[in-house]
Amino acid sequence: MDKVNAQILRLKQSEIDRDKWDNCINEALNSRVYALSWYLDITCPNWEGLVYGDYEYVLPLTITKKLGLELLLRPPYSQQLGIFPSPDRSITEEFLKYLEQFKLVEYPFNSDLLPITNLKAEMKERPNFVLPLYGQYEAISGRFSKHCKRQIKKAEKNQIQVTTSSNIIDFIEQTEQNANYPITPKTKICLQQLLSKSIYQGNGIIQSAYDTQNKLCASVFWLRHRNRIYYLSAFSTSEGKKQSAMYVLIHEMIRTNSGTQFVIDFEGSTIEGIARLYKGFGATAETYFNAKLNQLPWPLNHFYGK
């Protein structure tokens, strides 16, 4: 245990009261699944925490240790972290000032963070896309773009069928085969554990689309937490892209949850084609900030970039 100041403590995992920690996250208006203890155990085994008072506010420290240095980096499958619940400016500054002690910071704050400018770290804006499902289906689907509606009709004409599955190994293998980016062994293990844990808990599902030949076209790993349904991982096969299978999967999630308090969290993207997919369903952008600070000694500072 390290005392940051009169009210904030840095606690190791063994010192954290997990019930109080998770209760703080769950009760926060800006709650995010990424900050729950079970989720952090999977995505960042060395995580610690900053705790204000009696767990009135908490901030996950997602620490990676390399070359004897502590680096604060974004873990896989963790879009938004930061302070929970969202505090006033003075408390926010107390937390953020502490992060400046790390030699390298690549840390995502949730969208409720108050903009702070008097920091060493560069705060870069990032887009997320969210779709509230509060209204009735007719109202929500009425806001679909023309392109989106055409793709849904195309998939329906091709008789794409949607099912749920618990086949984790198949999902991971297909993700590896169809991803447009390399999946590291660490990321693969992380995804497998997130799938296993969430499906066991009953808040994670794999939704898949099949063609008339019963060939897999696309799948989504959806994760529910509080009022959010996270589009956590997904893939389309080459044939699935031709048949617009992903549109059917997202459409089905919208249709079956319309008129509820859920919000689909697409986790955003700066890739134009992916952003178009989300916006086509009526999702709107919300901004979150990624803190970036490189204080590494030479030549490491060039290796990790400015």
Provide DSSP, 195-244: HHHHHHHTSEEEEEEE-TT--EEEEEEEEEETTEEEEEEEEE-HHHHHTT
Instruction: Place 17 in a pLDDT band, splitting at 50, 70 and 90.
Output: very high
What tokens were used for 144?
């679909």
Res 209: pLDDT: 97
What tokens were used for 89?
């400016």
Q: How far apart are CA 96 and CA 67, in angstroms?
A: 24
What tokens were used for 192?
């497998």
Interval 174-206: pLDDT, tens: 999 998 778 899 999 999 999 999 999 999 999
Cβ-in-10-Å burial (0-12, 13-18, 19+) of 138 comes to: exposed
Q: Average pLDDT, stretch 259-278?
A: 88
Res 183: pLDDT: 87
Interval 120-151: pLDDT, tens: 888 889 999 999 999 999 999 999 999 999 99
Res 53: pLDDT: 94
What tokens were used for 10?
């840095």
Res 68: pLDDT: 82
**Domain 134-261 sits in CATH 3.10.180.10:** no
Sheet holding 2-3, edge to edge: 2-3, 8-11, 48-52, 57-61
List the one residue out of 227, 246, 248, 226 whose CA is nearest residue 238. Answer: 246
Q: What are phi and psi of 165, to 5 degrees?
A: -145, 160
Res 165: pLDDT: 86
Q: Average pLDDT, stretch 224-230?
A: 97
Cβ pair 219, 240 in contact under 8 A: no
Instruction: Place 4 in a pLDDT band, splitting at 50, 70 and 90.
Output: low
Q: How far apart are CA 32 and CA 54, in angstroms?
A: 20
Mean pLDDT of the chain: 92
3-state secondary structure of 184: coil
Res 5: pLDDT: 67
- Point out the least confidently predicted range of 47-61, 129-143, 284-298: 284-298
Checking if the pLDDT of 154 tops 60, the result is yes
Which one-letter amino acid corresponds to residue 177?
Q
Checking if the pLDDT of 113 tops 80, the result is yes
Q: What is the DSSP letter of 8?
A: E
- Point out the least confidently predicted range of 95-99, 114-118, 225-229, 235-239: 114-118
Instruction: Place 23 in a pLDDT band, splitting at 50, 70 and 90.
Output: very high
Give, rounded to a whole angstrom, the gap between the first and last alpha carbons of the chain.
Answer: 31
Checking if the pLDDT of 300 tops 60, the result is yes
